[in-house]
Amino acid sequence: MKNLLKTLLLAAAVLLPGAAAYAHVGSADVYFEGNAGPYPMFVTVRMPEVVPGVAKIEVRSASPDVSNVKVLLLRLTGPGSKLPSTADVAIRSKEDPNFFVSELWFMEYGALQAQLEVEGSKGEGKLSVPIASFPRQQKAMAPWMRLMGAFVLVGLTFGLVPITAGIAREGTVPAEAAPDAKNKRNARIVTALTVLAAVWTVYSARGLWREEDAVYARNVDLLKPPRVEASLQDGNRLMLRLATPLQLPVAGKGRETVPVKLEEVIPDHGYLMHLFLVGNPQADKVWHLHADRLQNGAFARTLPSMPAGDYRIFADIVDKNGFPWTLVGNVKLPNVAGPVLVGDDSQWAGAPLAAPIAESKVAQLPDGARMVWERADGPLRSNVPTSFKFRVENADGSPAGDLEPYMGMAAHMIVLRRDAGVFAHVHTNGSVPMAALDLARESSADGMDMSQSMAHQHHAALPASFSVPYGVPSAGDYRIFIQVRRSGQVQTAAFDVRAQ
Ligand SMILES: [Cu+2]
């Protein structure tokens, strides 16, 4: 009975719009470019808003020789990563033979992966796409469904009353005889008992329903971007602490959670924490720093010289299971005097985000060079998988020849919506964290394409043009920062755009 009710409750969960969540803020869908053996693929995972829920996995092959794509879902790490379910055969589009779509049920929270098995004229290939699965909102039940549920529950339960009473009154009475006094008395007792049982059943079903609802609401809350509290010590040391401990709920296990320890986060492209401090509310200054972990799970970072002001904090970490969290917060700083930026730390300052927004496609770089956003004509559309293409050119317009990997990658893109409801830190292979990608490669080492591994990118001469696969999740004004390294120096370009 309990399981049946649970199934009904889950099946009936319909909802209220709520704030979207974490790992990247407000940007849950996965955009990923990678090779399945010989086949370059652009994969988009459209995440369900509720879990359990159905995700749509869209696969676009860059080459026309792919004939078949299968997709299966499994955990990113641990025993579950070795126990694949049956693969779903993706449906090939009739209009576009290079486009395949698969729909998969997401039942669990946490770090998962979609494994693609691709067949074509060049043989087989595999590709693993890390996915962060979490419920984003709780939906209110539609009134008609609420009414129907109540009717079924109350109607069926109390429907037992006349049935049991009838059995008690007439079950033992011969066909043509009438029930005697004893039969009638039994019937009254049975009626009373059945009514009591029916009331108890409906009452406990209501309790079970409410508990299930409360647990789900709590899970949505636990997986919202965690708040970080910031304080300044010794004039320039920024201390970061979680407002409440991180917990990953376990789907379908009531109030069970797994604690996520900051002591156990894993490095993501070389650092445990990518710390972004963004001028608030103008987005006219950005620092991309890397904080050190202290023994008690707190993080700290000695700040460079910074002007007084209000700053938004976005701090990206990846837990040991490959689940990415973006910690968010605010800090008011006085004028800070600190050391000069070195190594992979970087900074940008520019014009405030204008209102109304002034779209830009060209950004000046420090030495007279510029970065050009090769944007298609027309507005930027939200939720459309897009290759954000950029080109770095010298002052004379020739392609820059001095691009080097910055933390192992050609470029880092930081996407910020004006109201900070969206923050994403993405790379040339997409929105998945590099640390999760490394875990996916470890967990399925057979036949995986390693050519994009960071190790292979070091010391390579990089082309002046590159692209970042991503889709902005919602309409609004965005500032997009692109960070590259040229001749040993990190340079940042900013572009403004309104998405529809
Ligand atoms: Cu990055």
207 alpha carbon – ligand 1 mean position (Å): 46
Question: From its phi and psi, is residue 368 left (phi > 0), alpha (psi between -120 and 50) or beta?
Answer: left
The answer to whether residues 369 and 486 belong to one domain is yes
Question: Of 161, 327, 187, 166, whose CA–CA distance to 244 is shortest?
Answer: 327
272-315 pLDDT, tens digit each:
999 999 999 999 999 999 999 998 889 999 999 999 999 999 99
CATH number where 394 lies: 2.60.40.2550
Q: Which two tokens stand for residue 106?
A: 């997401």
426 alpha carbon – ligand 1 mean position (Å): 6
Could you tell me which residues are beta bridge partners of residue 299? 240, 293
Buried b / exposed e across 270-281, counting CB within 10 Å, b at 16+? ebbbbbbbbbbe
The answer to whether residues 418 and 397 belong to one domain is yes
310 alpha carbon – ligand 1 mean position (Å): 23
How far is the C-alpha of 57 from the C-alpha of 120, rounded, in Å? 19
Q: What 3-state DSSP class applies to 428?
A: coil
Buried b / exposed e across 16-45, counting CB within 10 Å, b at 16+? eebebbbbbbbbbbbbbbbbbbbbbbbbbb
* Mean pLDDT, residues 480-500 taken together: 94
The answer to whether residues 50 and 147 belong to one domain is no
The answer to whether residues 89 and 210 belong to one domain is no
The answer to whether residues 255 and 363 belong to one domain is no
170-198 pLDDT, tens digit each:
888 887 888 888 888 888 999 999 999 99
288 alpha carbon – ligand 1 mean position (Å): 9
334-390 pLDDT, tens digit each:
999 999 998 899 999 999 999 899 999 999 998 899 999 999 888 999 999 999 999
The answer to whether residues 397 and 487 belong to one domain is yes
Residue 234: predicted pLDDT: 92
Q: Residue written as tokens 């967990």? A: 443
The answer to whether residues 104 and 174 belong to one domain is no
Asked if the structure places residue 454 within a domain, the reply is no
Could you tell me which residues are beta bridge partners of residue 259? 247
Residue 10: what are its φ and ψ, rounded to 5°?
-65, -45
Last residue of a domain, one of 105, 133, 161: 133
Last residue of a domain, one of 342, 372, 405: 342
Express as a percent the part of the chain with pLDDT over 70.
92
- Are 253 and 109 a contacting pair, CB within 8 Å? no
Q: Calculate the dihedral angle through the C-alpha atoms of 473, 475, 478, 484, rounding to the nearest 10 degrees.
A: 30
Distance of CA 374 to the CA centre of its chain: 27
- Are 14 and 317 a contacting pair, CB within 8 Å? no
108 alpha carbon – ligand 1 mean position (Å): 27
Q: What confidence category does residue 452 fall into, taking pLDDT thresholds of 50, 70 and 90?
A: very low
- Are 316 and 268 a contacting pair, CB within 8 Å? yes
Residue 444: predicted pLDDT: 64
CATH number where 76 lies: 2.60.40.1930
35 alpha carbon – ligand 1 mean position (Å): 20
Instruction: Give how many domains the chain has, as a whole number.
Output: 4
Q: What is the DSSP letter of 217?
A: H
The answer to whether residues 185 and 169 belong to one domain is yes
The answer to whether residues 9 and 60 belong to one domain is no
Q: What is the DSSP letter of 163?
A: H
411 alpha carbon – ligand 1 mean position (Å): 7
Residue 10: predicted pLDDT: 43
324 is in which domain, residue-wise?
227-342
480 alpha carbon – ligand 1 mean position (Å): 13
141 alpha carbon – ligand 1 mean position (Å): 40
24 alpha carbon – ligand 1 mean position (Å): 12
- Are 438 and 456 a contacting pair, CB within 8 Å? no
Reported as type and span, the H/E element at residue 434 is: helix 434-443
Q: What confidence category does residue 460 fall into, taking pLDDT thresholds of 50, 70 and 90?
A: low
The answer to whether residues 306 and 440 belong to one domain is no
How far is the C-alpha of 485 from the C-alpha of 476, rounded, in Å? 29
Asked if the structure places residue 11 within a domain, the reply is yes
427 alpha carbon – ligand 1 mean position (Å): 6
The answer to whether residues 170 and 307 belong to one domain is no
412 alpha carbon – ligand 1 mean position (Å): 5
Which are the contacts of 11, defined by CB distance < 8 A and separation ≥ 6?
none
Q: Residue written as tokens 């010590």? A: 233
Asked if the structure places residue 23 within a domain, the reply is no
Asked if the structure places residue 453 within a domain, the reply is no
Q: Which two tokens stand for residue 87?
A: 């693969």
The answer to whether residues 214 and 257 belong to one domain is no
Asked if the structure places residue 450 within a domain, the reply is no
Length of the chain measured in residues: 500
Q: How many CB atoms neighbour CB 56 within 10 A?
A: 14
How far is the C-alpha of 153 from the C-alpha of 5, rounded, in Å? 10
Instruction: Say what the pTM is.
Output: 0.85
Q: What is the DSSP letter of 463?
A: P
What distance separates the 2 farthest-apart alpha carbons in the chain? 110
Asked if the structure places residue 347 within a domain, the reply is no
Last residue of a domain, one of 313, 342, 371: 342
274 alpha carbon – ligand 1 mean position (Å): 8
Q: Residue written as tokens 């985000």? A: 353
CB-based burial label for 213 (10 Å; 0-12, 13-18, 19+): middle
493 alpha carbon – ligand 1 mean position (Å): 14
Asked if the structure places residue 98 within a domain, the reply is yes
455 alpha carbon – ligand 1 mean position (Å): 15
CATH number where 252 lies: 2.60.40
